[in-house]
Chain A
């Protein structure tokens, strides 16, 4: 895990270096603020995905982006129907949790493989988001609401301070210091052993899928504040990106291994890379290719390092 951390820091440095080489304006303070604008939305989604994957099963939530789109629309629609915005956001959070609970029922109660279950709900949710709005965005949110994602304190966006950093800290403590955290790891490492030692594996996973839906709702609120409008395609592609940052950050796709710090670093790497390529006016195609190479490459190096450690242990043993 230590090696993974160094690898990620190295990659981040490489991404920054690449940015500096490609574009002279990259190493300015304004770039940092611009960069941080993008971090929280993908960041919280990536962390939720990390938790779902960690608990094993194998666990994955492909519907996370679709939930985000749907909740965003629901909040905006409620607001234009006269519901106070704060209350609408609360309903949105409840809706997100509920949509996550649908996944949870499918996966944990009916034992449908998570990949299939969330693929199906992804279809259903994102389809609903498009169909209910006819593809048009819902706007008209109040100006002050933009503070959350557009305002800055000490040059850092507000949603970074009040949402992303606290959430990262809470999740980190949850995983590393609490019993719930160790239960998540043991469920991901060996489901049967965890069950026999008293961890209620499926109840734990049920809760994590609900949490993932709730976090998607938080991401929806941040996007709403940022764009001042709810788009039916707001979460498109987020499911793949969140899986990418979780895996790049060192989370094992079958669970049991991974850390929040890794995911946070991975989000920084991906956004730095995107910003650098964007500033240098390089086509989006290269950004996609870079993400793809990073994704596969990181798992391959992981496997290679793991195999070497195993071989060394065998020699000693």
Chain B
């Protein structure tokens, strides 16, 4: 949080454009899809898992959405198609991880390859572009005086917060993340919880794909390449523990805002966007080191 204010001050002092309403709205629009994915990623990391294939899921869902558009389907078919594809791919991840005991990093690495292959096969190396903007209001529109993005992020995070903190399912997720063996012993159906959590992340990735297509109205070949890494980075920056059991949705949201503001601010003060990954990586290392040092002091 302190870091967030710090970068705002730095960027605001360097570029007067940074704190304008228009710029901040742009940042918000650009971060909606990442924020949505990150809500699911937080739950997965609390569960003690990880999913490096979310980029692939976003990509495949987006391709299906694009194709559905091209076939001339109406909005009320297209959105569920995107969500369903995402949820299904997520459930496949969850099934492989839960039933065959493949470690999540290996399993999702494998499915990432497969999903990207599906993307290439469906899209055939050509962009799907010029899609109609019938869904653009989801990202560009305003509702009750606030940009639509705020409502979407608020809705998704509110729902996930309720699910995680005020429902038995959320307690099961935390229990599995803290100690899987004990969770099994107290009668939690660990496998089912895992599959549900991965399917939820898939669903949110599908939703992110809907937002992505709504925003840019095209589907390109390299869609979603950075999403997995950015989502993991944001979640860890937000205070989740990669070993499971600990994590906070609000922290993650701050992590997302932090990453997106940094990216935007760097562009505005004229630093080449190539430095972006260096800075995100550096931040991630700093946070990890600080966490480690703090853990030592308390231990």
Contacts and interface: CB of A to CB of B under 8 A. Distances in A.
Nearest to B117: A289
B220 to A, nearest CB: 15
Contacts of B106: 243, 247, 253, 295-296, 299
A294 to B, nearest CB: 8
Interface stretch (A35-43, A106-114, A221-229): A106-114
Nearest to A254: B103
Contacts of A303: 100-102
Contacts of A285: 116-121
Contact of B107 (A119, A127, A244, A296): A296
Interface residues of B, number: 45
B184 interface: no
Given A116-B242, A253-B103, A292-B114, A240 B274 contact: no
A300 B99 CA distance: 10
A243 B277 CA distance: 22
B227 interface: no
Given A291-B113, A303-B100, A123 B288 contact: no
Nearest to A303: B101
A125 B50 CA distance: 22
A122 interface: yes
A241 B134 CA distance: 40
B113 A112 contact: no
A113 B232 CA distance: 14
Interface string B219-261: 0000000000100110010000011000000000000000000
B178 interface: no
A60 to B, nearest CB: 7
A124 interface: yes
A292 B102 CA distance: 13
A106 B290 CA distance: 11
Interface stretch (B19-27, B140-148, B278-286): B278-286
A292 B111 contact: yes
A289 B243 contact: no
A240 B105 CA distance: 10
A286 B289 CA distance: 40
A238 B275 CA distance: 21
A210 interface: no
A126 B277 contact: yes
B96 interface: yes
A110 B114 contact: no
B112 interface: yes
Interface stretch (A128-136, A199-207, A308-316): A128-136
Contacts of B105: 60, 115, 253
Contacts of B276: 127
Contacts of B98: none
Contacts of B243: 113
Given A117-B288, A120-B284, A283-B120, A292 B112 contact: yes
Contacts of A254: 103
A110 B288 contact: yes
B109 interface: yes
Given A110-B288, A110-B289, A286-B117, A120 B281 contact: yes
B103 A288 contact: no
A137 to B, nearest CB: 14
Contacts of B186: none
A110 B232 CA distance: 20
Given A127-B277, A296-B111, A283 B292 contact: no
A240 B52 CA distance: 11
A295 B281 contact: no
Contacts, number: 135
A106 B120 contact: no
B121 to A, nearest CB: 5
A121 interface: yes
Interface string A90-119: 000000000000000010001111011101
Contacts of B96: 296, 300
Given A124-B278, A292-B114, A244 B109 contact: yes
Contact of B274 (A117, A135, A289, A300): A135
B110 interface: yes
A23 interface: no
Given A113-B243, A124-B281, A240-B109, A293 B114 contact: yes
A288 B59 CA distance: 15
A295 B104 CA distance: 12
Contacts of B110: 291-293, 295-296
B114 A106 contact: no
Nearest to B279: A127
B229 A119 contact: yes
B298 interface: no
Nearest to A110: B292
Given A285-B118, A300-B100, 5 more contacts: A112-B289, A121-B285, A123-B277, A253-B103, A296-B107
27 contacts: A110-B289, A111-B295, A112-B288, A113-B242, A115-B105, A119-B229, A119-B232, A120-B281, A120-B288, A123-B280, A123-B284, A124-B285, A127-B277, A127-B280, A128-B278, A130-B274, A130-B277, A131-B272, A131-B275, A240-B109, A285-B116, A286-B117, A292-B112, A292-B113, A296-B102, A296-B107, A300-B100
Interface of A: 60, 106, 110-113, 115-117, 119-128, 130-131, 134-135, 240, 243-244, 247, 253-254, 283-286, 288-289, 291-293, 295-296, 299-300, 303-304
